[in-house]
Structure 1
Amino acid sequence: MSLAESPDMKLRFVAPLSFVLLFSLSSCLSAQEVDSQLWTQYLITGKWKNGLRILAEVQPRFGKNYGRTSRFLLRGAVGYQVSPEFSVWVGHAWTPTFTPEFNSEDRWYQLLLWESHFPGFDLINRLRLEERSISGAGGTSFRGTYRLRVEKPLDKKKRLSGILYDEFLWNLNSTPRGAVMGFDQNRTFFGLGYKLTGHTKMEAGYLVNFTDVPSPRRDQRADILFLSLNYNL
């Protein structure tokens, strides 16, 4: 029996994804403050025969109902391909926020990436640890993130694909004037990908981002139009 025909194997991947999607939905329904946003991503990746990998990313984000820049993310990383499916990464990001006022953040991170290809779909597990230095926070904040992504080709040439992922963010400690230990954010994405060329791919879709905000402030939900242009060297 092939992997695609095995009920146990299908359940193995569908069950975790169903759990995180249900958690995301319940979180979003409890949100009280809503904003419409636009996130744009420009991503360059490279991979060589010696196992070395690189990543460079620019991501402007626009909030307040698309009216102003809310965050800017500039990220770079180097990785090593340990096996055909598994790679390890280390990188740095500068990601200042602009609302309600300018606030700078430097972020070192380490990442484990498991990329698997099955009959009919691709599965990516990403586990990341971040060390966040936020101006005015009074200390370094540590945060763990986990993302599960499924991508399924929708045509015979595999140029068009459907994409679904969920990402869970958890603060591992508290800082005097910043992060609070515990659940931080949850992001769920539904969209499409389209290969423009052998090296270039576009992705577009709806991303809902729920943020847990300490009392007495209200929790937040962002309804996001997400647009991405990816170039593979």
Structure 2
Amino acid sequence: MRLITRMLPALAALAFPAVAHASEDEQLWTTASATVKLSDHWRFSQEVVGRFSNDRDGLYEIEMNSLIGYRISKKVTVWAGYTHDPQYDGGDFTVMEHRGRQQVTFDNIVRIGPGQLSARLRLEQRWREGIDGTAWRLRPYVKYVLPFREGGKTALVLSHESFIDLNTTNFQRVEGEERMRNLIAITTPVAKNVNAEIGYLHQHGFRSDADDPNDNVASFSLSFNF
């Protein structure tokens, strides 16, 4: 992890302009996901994300997302499910977060040049054990996939996601845009029904009463489709 994360500040400087009064962290995110076609319309998706941080001395989050989707058309699917999200400090458990999740995905809705644009609108309700309040959050997301050659499956991926907090609680303290994520990555098939993606993600937080945090993230994921 250290060899990877030592390169991230240099990549960040090239990919994003310097931000005044900002703190920095180097991280590693690993993701494994599987989507199963249950019928012509129904889908099941399971995703597990492990997040590691230099500033937090290792593992700080394991996010597990379970979703059922109904395909309305070739390009539109509605989903609903649950997120189990234990959080850690240096690998030691700190708090359990539960989330309800609803989303609509729009696959390959617009062709821009040789690439395709997709989008997702996600709504979440968040609860933390031992802390009062329900935190509501909206997460709009767009992704552009550009194949390296016509008809090829190896492609450049560019994406943006904003986190917009719809209220405040004891653990959700920023009303409005709380953070954004920008990703540049390469995706390629590695086996039948298996894709790998590796890239760099920049996460910028917005704080009115403290320095804005910046996370430079090495991102690696495997996705299985059945």
TM-score by length of 2: 0.84
- Output the amino acid matched with 1:201: N
Give the stretch that moved more between structures: 222-231 or 136-145.
136-145
| Contact preservation (8 Å) 1:206, 1:226 | yes
**Paired position in structure 1 for 2:187:** 193
Structure 1 partner of 2:164: 170
1:158 equivalent in alignment to 2:152: yes
SS of structure 1 residue aligned to 2:195:
strand
CA contact (8 A) 1:136 1:177 kept: no
Deviates more, 1:55-64 or 1:170-179: 170-179
- Within 5 Å, give how 1:78-157 maps onto structure 2: 78-99=68-89, 102-116=94-108, 118=111, 120-156=114-150
Change (3 A) 1:30 1:169: farther
**Structure 1's 66 and 161: CA in aligned 2 closer, same or farther, altered over 3 A?**
farther
Q: Is the 8 A contact 2:114 2:150 kept in 1?
A: no
> Shift of residue 39 of structure 1?
0.1
**Corresponding residue for 1:39?**
29
Deviates more, 1:51-60 or 1:190-199: 190-199
Q: Are 2:208 and 1:218 aligned?
A: no
Query: Relative to total residues, which structure has the larger helix share, 1 or 2?
Result: 1
The residue that corresponds to 1:180 in the other structure is 174
Residues in 1 aligned to 2:207 and 2:35: alpha-carbon distance in whole angstroms: 34
Secondary structure in 1 aligned to 2:67? strand
1:74 partner letter = M
Residue 56 of structure 1, CA deviation: 0.2
Figure out how many residues of one structure are paired with residues of the other and give that number. 208
- Deviation string 1:26-58 (CA, Å, 9 cap, x unpaired) is 7x7245110000000000012244300111011
Q: For residues 113 and 30 of structure 1, do their structure 2 counterparts lie closer, same or farther at Cα, with a shift above 3 Å needed?
A: farther
Determine what percentage of the aligned residue pairs are the same residue.
24
> Which runs of 5 or more structure 2 residues have no equivalent in the other structure?
1-14
How far apart, in 1, do the equivalents of 2:115 and 2:36 lie?
A: 22
Separation (CA, whole Å) in 1 of partners of 2:221 and 2:153: 15
Gapped regions of structure 1 (runs ≥ 5): 1-23
